[in-house]
Amino acid sequence: MAITIKDIARESGVNISTVSRSLNGNYGVHRNTRERVLAVAHRLNYRPNRVARGLATGRSNTFGLVVSDIRNPFFAEVARGAEDAAYAVGCDLVLCNSDMDANKQMRYMSSLLEKCVDGILMNSVAALDRSQQELLSESGIPVVLLNRTGEDRAFSSVSADNFQGGAIAGEYLAKLGHRSVAHLTGPKRHGTLSDRAGGFLKGLDGSNSGIAAVMIYSEQTMKGGYDMARELIRSHRDVTAIFAANDAIAFGVLRALLEAKVRIPDDISLIGFDNVALSEVVHPPLTTIHQPKYEIGQAAIEMLVKQSKPGVLKEIEHRVMDVELVQRESCRAA
Amino acid sequence: MAITIKDIARESGVNISTVSRSLNGNYGVHRNTRERVLAVAHRLNYRPNRVARGLATGRSNTFGLVVSDIRNPFFAEVARGAEDAAYAVGCDLVLCNSDMDANKQMRYMSSLLEKCVDGILMNSVAALDRSQQELLSESGIPVVLLNRTGEDRAFSSVSADNFQGGAIAGEYLAKLGHRSVAHLTGPKRHGTLSDRAGGFLKGLDGSNSGIAAVMIYSEQTMKGGYDMARELIRSHRDVTAIFAANDAIAFGVLRALLEAKVRIPDDISLIGFDNVALSEVVHPPLTTIHQPKYEIGQAAIEMLVKQSKPGVLKEIEHRVMDVELVQRESCRAA
DNA sequence: CTGAAAGCGCTAACAG
DNA sequence: CTGTTAGCGCTTTCAG
């Protein structure tokens, strides 16, 4: 049987509420009493029961983290930032993998609410549907959405400045003198990716040189990148630069071009987005747009912490983080 | 205010204990009563409070997962397997990153115990020290160690068959006709890595051809691999094959050899260990020893689930998972 | 089959 | 400053 405040109360000859007070805040309790109590607690190797405390206070000091798949390096990085931020304030994180499956996501949300988490950080399947929105609003629990700026205005969000990132990529390629470029990306209507595409076009256009951009849509994976690149070199032999909507796509492109004996950057320049760890490992090291993944996770938890403070009226907040160009070796002047 | 069994009891004109019984499917309640109660619960959109239940039952339906860093693809994969297994039995996982720091690890263990988790899965910093062992044993909570077979016989463990994996690598290289090989690995005294090294020597030796193996020790990271490879090609020009103790090291080797214009596999063959996702993406695709990461996480949680069942006397269990050779393009006959 | 009642371990008024 | 007393929401004897 674990030892409880009751034991330490008996042992130190005070009431359990005095023990509780001594253990927690510095409210009115005599120095000597507190020290005695603390000593006993230490001697008995007391370990508070956080479940009981949670039931009594209504706060669990736990946040839920719902990502599509923790194996995705992007989310692993976000998760690490989130976990560190939670650890810093004495909270912990329960990990959920939704696989972008609306049902699973719903089940996880229920489960998290039942556990009385103090907040939820998630990259939702898509804009939340009505039942999910209701579930969350009614619960009154703070939520921060990942990569969902703009939509779901009912909830806070944090994401990178995807539009700006796309624009930087476009400007960079234009400045290097590329006049025939391609953008390889995921599904056409995908918030994050659409922003990158829009920014890219805007960036290219900034040079006022009437650059043509061929857009190819597929899966936002390495396989998708591989397929799109093969299609591209078959159908558009004049393209001299490619902007891949994320690094995974870029890796697929790398592979396809390598197989086709198209040299990077000599024949075609390539720029990615994300700056995942591997991007500096591949050959040639990938020039890409850095997105502050760790900081995104961190910021999200900080928002949750702030919003979950009792007495704080939670106003929704949209935070967008800066991105930046990381020049490596996959791009050169046309 | 969330609705509780009290509300649904009042609403359906029965006692809360009947509600509890109906909800939990425990027998001893009339069909009609149960159905009526369930209907009301549904109508009121009842959501059980798992914290309260946890306090009453002493079980939290939560497991702790302590890894050094979730950004390490190996652990991300293990975590995914673990999370899926937990999800399957209605439990969830709290994620902890220890950074291989004994203090952090200790803090996390305390925190998990305070939360009354039903079990802990962890890759410990090293053999657990006395205070940690005591803490865990006294808590009586089941623990499964990752990659720690053999040591800490006081706790269960699950890991890949590292010795066997090393042996396979050794046999493979020997069979390809390599007579001068090198093993690039991490710290000399590292359980997992030592097993791989030992297996490797054994595998080479099986060919009875007196193969010489130069051993180089450094960090088990890409950087370590890079450094070791540079040292190797400077000091041992005769080596024709390298066994990297893990894929990260192998990636570093890849990079170093590429820079030094040493061709793989034409000049030097390279084999890794782990079979992380990237290993088939790099150039050339890496031949490596596959280790069932997902299954390891899964198996570990299953062991925890079994051991945490009330009434089951927990006997420690050591499970070692099979590994296998994945032939790709980084090795060729000498 | 169902109700009453006693907690699980801790916090938080409210008295003194 | 400290003790008393209610609960938090749910499970679980024990009666009936």
The pLDDT tens digits of the residues spanning B188-224 come to 988 899 999 999 999 998 867 778 899 999 999 999 9
Residue type, A180: S
Q: Cβ(A225)–Cβ(A193) under 8 Å?
A: no
d(CA B71, CA A288) in angstroms, rounded, equals 20
Q: Note whether B50 contacts A114, CB cutoff 8 Å.
A: yes
Per-residue model confidence (pLDDT) at position B132 = 78
d(CA A273, CA A169) in angstroms, rounded, equals 9
Would the Cβ of B14 be found within 7 angstroms of any atom in strand D? Answer: no
d(CA A121, CA A156) in angstroms, rounded, equals 10
Best residue in B94, B249, B276, B295 to probe A by mutation, most A CBs within 10 Å? Answer: B94
CA geometry: angle B113, B119, B122, nearest 5 deg:
90
Q: Is the pTM of this model over 0.85?
A: yes
What integer best gives the mean pLDDT of chain B? 91
Query: Which range, A90-94, A137-141, B147-151, is most confident?
Result: A90-94
d(CA B147, CA A155) in angstroms, rounded, equals 42
Residue A128 pLDDT greater than 80, yes or no: no
Residue B127 pLDDT greater than 70, yes or no: no
Can you spell out the DSSP letters for B248-287? Answer: HHHHHHHHHHHHTT--TTTT-EEEEEE--GGGGTSSSPPE
Q: Which residue has the tokens 């006397």?
A: B313
Q: Note whether A51 contacts B55, CB cutoff 8 Å.
A: yes
Chain B nearest CA to A247, separation (Å): 12
Alpha helix (H) residue ranges in B13-63 = 16-24, 31-43, 50-57
Element (H, E) at B324: strand B324-326
Q: Cβ(B95)–Cβ(A121) under 8 Å?
A: no
Chain A nearest CA to B71, separation (Å): 5
Per-residue model confidence (pLDDT) at position B263 = 95
Q: In what order do the strands lie in the sheet with A212-217?
A: A212-217, A180-185, A241-244, A269-274, A287-290, A324-326
d(CA A69, CA B277) in angstroms, rounded, equals 14
Element (H, E) at A54: helix A50-57
Mean pLDDT of B124-136: 74
CB-proximal positions of chain C, under 7 Å: 1-5, 7-13
- Which residue, counting CA atoms, is nearest to the C1' of nucleotide D10? B53
Q: Which residue has the tokens 């009115």?
A: A28
Per-residue model confidence (pLDDT) at position B189 = 83
Would the Cβ of A17 be found within 7 angstroms of any atom in strand D? Answer: yes
Main-chain phi, psi angles of A52, to 5 degrees: -60, -45
d(CA A109, CA A101) in angstroms, rounded, equals 12
Q: Cβ(A100)–Cβ(A68) under 8 Å?
A: yes
Q: Cβ(A331)–Cβ(A270) under 8 Å?
A: yes
A56 shares contact with chain B (CB less than 8 Å) = no
Q: CA dihedral defined by B79, B81, B82, B86, rounded to 10 degrees?
A: 130
Lowest mean pLDDT segment, chosen from A108-117, A130-139, B318-327: A130-139
Q: Cβ(A112)–Cβ(A96) under 8 Å?
A: yes
Q: Which residue of B has its CA nearest to A64?
A: B94
Instruction: Give the count of beta carbons closer than 10 Å to the beta carbon of residue B280.
Output: 15
Q: Which pair of structure tokens corresponds to residue A135? A: 């579930």
Distance of CA A39 to CAs A13, A23, A32, B268, Å?
13, 11, 10, 64
Q: Note whether A50 contacts B115, CB cutoff 8 Å.
A: yes
When pLDDT is cut at 50, 70 and 90, the band that residue A127 belongs to is low
Which residues sit opposite B272 in a β-bridge? B288
A62 shares contact with chain B (CB less than 8 Å) = yes
Per-residue model confidence (pLDDT) at position B243 = 98
d(CA A78, CA B50) in angstroms, rounded, equals 27
The number of CA neighbours under 13 Å toward the Cβ of B131 is 8
Q: Which residue of A has its CA nearest to B259?
A: A283
Residue B259 pLDDT greater than 90, yes or no: no
Lowest mean pLDDT segment, chosen from A27-31, B260-264, B278-282, B323-327: A27-31
Residue type, B282: V
Q: Cβ(A71)–Cβ(B75) under 8 Å?
A: no
A279 shares contact with chain B (CB less than 8 Å) = no
Instruction: Give the count of beta carbons closer than 10 Å to the beta carbon of residue A104.
Output: 17
Residue A91 DSSP one-character state: -
What integer best gives the mean pLDDT of chain A? 91
A177 shares contact with chain B (CB less than 8 Å) = no
Residue B238 pLDDT greater than 90, yes or no: yes
Best residue in A281, A295, A301, A329 to probe B by mutation, most B CBs within 10 Å? Answer: A281
Q: Which of residues 17-76 of B touch strand C (CB under 7 A)?
A: 17-18, 21, 27-34, 52, 55-56
Residue A19 pLDDT greater than 80, yes or no: yes
The conformational region for residue A140 under phi > 0 = left, psi -120 to 50 = alpha, else beta, is left
Q: Which of residues 39-58 of A touch strand C (CB under 7 A)?
A: 48-49, 52-53, 55-57
